[in-house]
Amino acid sequence: MQLTKTEEQLMEIIWTREKAFLKDIIDSYPEPKPAGTTIATLLKRMQDKNFVAYETFGNSRQYYPLVKKSAYFSKEVGGIVKNFFDNSALQFASFFTSSSNMTPAELEDLKKIIDKEIERRKE
């Protein structure tokens, strides 16, 4: 299941904080801060989608992620590769490297990452 952009922004706060009360979440937003009712509505929708859960402490709820950021990101990138690059990671990588504003040093770092992964998979 996919998150909206607004839900992704909220999820990013929860992933970063790992556990957070509603007040902490609101405080994490830049000005102008969203209304508490807006965040509560988003949290309820995200609970229904099984992205977050909460523990109750008195009258307060402490929210925490049920989905890891890496798992969500991996699924999202997989969807992009499938839908826009004919399910070809090679086409995606080619587009990414030629269309991004990566410096030569960043491209060299990327090459090192790829070389390391090649060696790992050969073992």
pLDDT tens profile 7-24 = 999 999 999 999 999 999
Q: Are both 84 and 113 inside the same structural domain? A: yes
Q: Are both 12 and 39 inside the same structural domain? A: yes
Q: Are both 117 and 81 inside the same structural domain? A: yes
Q: pLDDT, tens digit, for every residue of 31-59?
A: 999 999 999 999 999 999 999 999 999 99
Question: Which of 47, 65, 83 finishes a domain?
Answer: 65
Range of the structural domain that residue 34 is part of: 5-65
- Report the DSSP pairing between strands 60-65 and 20-21: antiparallel
Sign of torsion over alpha carbons 107, 110, 116, 120: negative
pLDDT value of position 50 = 95
Q: pLDDT, tens digit, for every residue of 67-89?
A: 999 888 888 888 888 888 888 88
What is the percentage of the chain residues whose pLDDT exceeds 90?
A: 64
In the chain, the number of structural domains is 2
Q: Are both 28 and 51 inside the same structural domain? A: yes
pLDDT value of position 77 = 81
Q: Are both 92 and 110 inside the same structural domain? A: yes
